[in-house]
């Protein structure tokens, strides 16, 4: 008989990663697990929760390997308390996510996907005119959270001739303009791009006050986590024309998108595709495997997250 599996799969992993995990480690799904006590490593996908309940179900667990750079689905504090280490997939998805962030910023300013809808509706053919939009050059792009993806987004914004402002917990050694609060950043921004991690420290960081500071000519982009934006406040600000529009790749309760947003022409809605290219997802999968290998071989993770 084969030795019992030491690796388990939690949540929705992509088919190629499932196959790799089965081939290499004979890793079952949590539901199909015979000997939970033998499991040392849990590979978590699709933002599936990994909290006290999952840790209780796997008494021998020593490492949680998360597919995704964001790990707000993992209870890192509880893991640390139990001596369980956690890894994520940084760096390999930075460009892909920053591409979507800048795409949404440019799209909102230039109305491109709205213009596509305009053509498809037959309006252009009937002789209607699409309204004028706004230059990207000279616009202020405000980056909320100047980490890896925030920095890559700021560099892209500069390449478009936009002016970059930012807010982070502390000022960084960069030439861009720092603001000491999200509201101050929003007040200075034409497009506010949310790029903070999700989780407790950032929950509803973008609230009514921040949206009102952004103002009737300001746009919001969120490619981080739905939890960072107060979604009800956002819908309210859009419905009362207190902000100009929003580009959203993430939502509070995915895949549920607030009904009130679906019919609006001033919003661009994406199904959480920031990292969703073949190359990037494969690279993320490779980082996951490297972490599992390194942990099983020498008890170390390649890309550990700092315990909170």
Shortest reach from residue 287's CB to ligand 8YV, in Å:
11
Annotation marks residue 179 as catalytic? no
Q: Does 222 bind ligand 8YV (CB under 6 A)?
A: no
Q: Show the site string, 11-50: x = touches ligand 8YV by CB under 6 A, - = not.
A: ----------------------------------xxx---
Q: DSSP letter string over the chain?
A: -PPPPSEEEEE---HHHHHHHHHHH---BGGG-S-GGG--EEEEETT--BSHHHHHH-TT--EEEESSS--TTB-HHHHHHTT-EEE---STTHHHHHHHHHHHHHHHHHTHHHHHHHHHTTTTTTT--PPP---STTPEEEEES-SHHHHHHHHHHHHTTPEEEEE-SS--SSSSEE-SSHHHHHHH-SEEEE----SGGGTT-B-HHHHHHH-TT-EEEE-S-GGGB-HHHHHHHHHTTSSSEEEES--TBTTB--HHHHT-SSEEE--S-TT-SHHHHHHHHHHHHHHHHHHHHHS--SSBPPP-
Give the nearer residue to ligand 8YV in terms of CB position, either 113 or 275.
275
Annotation marks residue 225 as catalytic? yes
Q: Does 229 bind ligand 8YV (CB under 6 A)?
A: no
Annotation marks residue 165 as catalytic? no
Q: Does 69 bind ligand 8YV (CB under 6 A)?
A: yes
Please select the residue that binds ligand 8YV; options are 275, 285, 292, 301, rule is CB under 6 A.
275
How many residues at the interface with ligand 8YV, by CB under 6 A? 11
Give the nearer residue to ligand 8YV in terms of CB position, either 189 or 202.
202
Annotated catalytic sites, by residue? 225, 254, 272
- Footprint of ligand 8YV on this chain (CB under 6 A)? 45-47, 67-70, 93, 272, 274-275
């Amino acid at each position: 008989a084969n030795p019992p599996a030491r690796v388990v799969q939690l949540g929705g992993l992509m088919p190629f990663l499932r196959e790799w995990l089965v081939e290499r480690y004979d890793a079952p799904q949590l539901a199909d697990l015979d000997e939970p006590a033998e499991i040392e490593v849990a590979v978590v996908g699709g933002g599936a929760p990994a909290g006290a309940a999952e840790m209780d179900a796997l008494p021998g667990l020593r490492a949680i390997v998360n597919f995704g750079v964001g790990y707000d689905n993992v209870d890192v504090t509880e893991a640390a308390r139990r001596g369980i280490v956690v890894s994520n997939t940084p760096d390999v998805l930075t460009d892909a996510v920053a591409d979507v962030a800048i795409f949404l910023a440019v799209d909102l300013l230039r109305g491109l996907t709205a213009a596509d809808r305009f053509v498809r509706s037959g309006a252009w053919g009937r002789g209607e005119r699409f309204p004028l939009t706004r230059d990207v050059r000279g616009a202020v792009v405000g980056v909320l959270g100047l980490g890896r993806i925030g920095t890559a987004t700021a560099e892209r914004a500069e390449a478009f001739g936009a002016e970059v402002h930012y807010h982070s917990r502390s000022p960084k050694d960069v030439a861009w303009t720092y603001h000491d609060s999200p509201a101050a950043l929003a007040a200075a921004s034409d497009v506010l791009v949310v790029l903070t991690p999700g989780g407790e420290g950032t929950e509803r960081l973008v609230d009514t006050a921040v949206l009102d500071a952004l103002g009737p000519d300001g746009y919001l982009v969120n490619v981080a986590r739905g939890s960072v934006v107060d979604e009800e406040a956002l819908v309210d600000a859009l419905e009362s024309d207190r902000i100009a529009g929003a580009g959203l790749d993430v939502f509070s309760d995915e895949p549920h998108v607030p009904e009130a947003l679906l019919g609006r022409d001033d919003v661009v809605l994406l199904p959480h595709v920031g990292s969703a290219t073949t190359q990037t997802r494969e690279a993320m999968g490779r980082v996951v495997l490297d972490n599992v290998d390194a942990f099983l071989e020498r008890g170390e993770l390649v890309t550990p997250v700092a315990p909170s």
